[in-house]
Amino acid sequence: MKFLVHTYGCQMNVRDSEAVEAMLLAAGHEKAAGEDDADLVIVNSCTVRQKAEEKAVGKAGNLIAAGKVVGLMGCAVKRMGEDVFKRLPRLHFAVGPRAFGLIPRIVAEGRYPRLELAEDLVPGCLSAHVEGGWQAYVTVLLGCDNRCSYCIVPDVRGHEYSRPAREVVAEVGALARRGVREVCLLGQSVLRYGVRNQAWEDGWRGEAFPRLLRALSEIDGIERIRFTSAHPKGCTDELIRVYRDCPKVCRHLHLPVQSGSDRVLAEMGRRYTRAEYLAAVAKLRAFDPEFAVTTDVIVGYPGETEADFEETRSLMEEAGFDNAFVFKYSPRPGTRSAALPDDVPTAEKERRNQVLLDDQEKRGQRRNEALVGSVREVLVEGPSKRNERRWSGRDGGNRIVVWERAGSERAGDFAKIRIVGAHPQTLIGEMA
Ligand code: 5AD
Ligand code: SF4
């Protein structure tokens, strides 16, 4: 059967989709060239905001209408449960975020409709990777136990579960042998690795995640190690020591702040204050002034006043974020904040969103200009979409660097690029 997987949402979903592809390929199926060519299309859904869910469900609906065998997987399936077949009456199958390992069997049996919301993982499903390429995502922590008031993730992705360190080290070793040079470790709050369940089998009582970074740094062939997402509570002295000791660990942290107002942070249940958050950023930048810090922010949380919003604005300036993703609050069924009136009008959410994006544009420009003249170690990704002669890659801080191709570069290699120009989200360089 020829199949295609469409992915919505975060890196977790990108990773789960890759695992599904790898399992279907191993079962003898073939990847379709495009939608027209596909017999089976799987849509991996997100439900973090209502719009995200609508996009995935809408896509699945269109594919059903086009006569494909359609499966829906991921977060929206878990949120809807059996109602998924009310929204999509002719959907063939639906699997929750931890049940994707069942897809090859479901497809082989061909008994539809089918709904699988099982919490237990099919053995091996987390380590299935598609061959080729030099970058890979590796899931290390599943689920989330933080229970922020606005967030549906704990309901759909379940309790935190840290994969055994032994398994992660073996997986990254296997990837390295296949030519992978950069790994990105995934978890909703990845610094909580090994907190809820023991990750190291030798009874290790120290910090489990920094130890994992040290172990992965030892693997030959792996040149860069990234991870996402982080929480300021995880920015410990030991993590800083790892950055110091392990040059393969990239000096970039995605540290979602959500708000700069202590009142809103407390209502959200974020478990840090504005000052604590800023102290974590200061610690990273004291260690390395070029340390890249990126973030997520929500505007228009219930009861967010103009003064709260201004606190967010000033926090973003103080933190000097290298990049920021701004989201308009969207109430999600079953979350604590869904019980509160969604009282910031849409137009006002839109305005706040735009103000933060404009601020970030200026800040990004300023921060990138400060790097002009420096030489960055860039991992080459390939030609840019618009101009074949321009190549792009990323530096350790995850900054996009674009340069005129010299000719000798190859995707997956390191190149030294001198920065000669700056845009808010891109550095312009030349081969050094
Ligand atoms: N409304 C808007 N944004 C949300 N996020 C999570 N839940 C919501 C919601 N209900 C944002 C957070 C998170 C990012 C992945 O999505 O900023 O970090
Ligand atoms: Fe979307 Fe969150 Fe699920 Fe990722 S974990 S796909 S952001 S709902």
Q: Please tell me the predicted confidence (pLDDT) of residue 408.
A: 87
Q: Report pTM.
A: 0.97
Phi, psi of 390 (to 5 degrees): -95, 125
pLDDT-derived band at 372 (thresholds 50, 70, 90) equals very high
pLDDT exceeds 90 at position 386: no
Cβ neighbourhood burial of 346 (10 Å; 0-12, 13-18, 19+): exposed
Q: Please tell me the predicted confidence (pLDDT) of residue 388.
A: 86
Residue range 81-89: average pLDDT?
A: 97
Pocket test for ligand 2, best of 47, 148, 186, 332 (most atoms within 8 A of CB): 47
> Is the minimum distance from the CB of 412 to ligand 1 under 6 angstroms?
no
Query: How many angstroms separate the alpha carbon of residue 257 from the centre of ligand 1?
Result: 11
Pocket test for ligand 1, best of 153, 296, 344 (most atoms within 8 A of CB): 296
Q: Please tell me the predicted confidence (pLDDT) of residue 192.
A: 97
Q: Please tell me the predicted confidence (pLDDT) of residue 203.
A: 87
> Is the minimum distance from the CB of 254 to ligand 1 under 6 angstroms?
no
Q: Please tell me the predicted confidence (pLDDT) of residue 364.
A: 98
Question: Which atom of ligand 1 is closest in space to residue 229's alpha carbon?
Answer: 18
> Using CA positions, which residue lies closest to atom 13 of ligand 1?
296
pLDDT exceeds 90 at position 407: no
148-190 tens-digit pLDDT: 999 999 999 999 999 999 999 999 999 999 999 999 999 999 9
Share of the chain above pLDDT 90, in %: 97
Query: How many angstroms separate the alpha carbon of residue 325 from the centre of ligand 2?
Result: 15
Pocket test for ligand 1, best of 11, 53, 146, 150 (most atoms within 8 A of CB): 150
Question: Which atom of ligand 2 is closest in space to residue 44's alpha carbon?
Answer: 6
- Across-strand partners of 296? 325
**Cα–Cα distance measured from residue 230 to residue 228, given in angstroms and rounded to the nearest whole number:** 6
242-270 tens-digit pLDDT: 999 999 999 999 999 999 999 999 999 99
Mean pLDDT of the chain: 97
Q: Where are the alpha helices (DSSP H) in 288-408?
A: 306-319, 346-369
Question: Which atom of ligand 2 is closest in space to residue 97's alpha carbon?
Answer: 3
pLDDT exceeds 90 at position 387: no
pLDDT-derived band at 49 (thresholds 50, 70, 90) equals very high
212-225 tens-digit pLDDT: 999 999 999 999 99
pLDDT-derived band at 413 (thresholds 50, 70, 90) equals very high
Residue range 222-231: average pLDDT?
A: 98
Q: Please tell me the predicted confidence (pLDDT) of residue 85.
A: 98
Q: Please tell me the predicted confidence (pLDDT) of residue 182.
A: 97
Q: Please tell me the predicted confidence (pLDDT) of residue 384.
A: 86
Cβ neighbourhood burial of 334 (10 Å; 0-12, 13-18, 19+): exposed
Residue range 107-131: average pLDDT?
A: 96
> Is the minimum distance from the CB of 46 to ligand 2 under 6 angstroms?
yes
Q: 414-422 and 426-431: which strand pairing?
A: antiparallel
* Nearest ligand to the CA atom of 301: 1
pLDDT exceeds 90 at position 37: yes
pLDDT exceeds 90 at position 92: yes
What strands lie across the sheet with 69-74, from one edge to the other? 30-31, 2-7, 40-45, 69-74, 93-95, 114-116
Q: Please tell me the predicted confidence (pLDDT) of residue 54.
A: 98
pLDDT-derived band at 385 (thresholds 50, 70, 90) equals confident
Residue with tokens 């594919």: 63
322-369 tens-digit pLDDT: 999 999 999 999 999 999 999 999 999 999 999 999 999 999 999 999
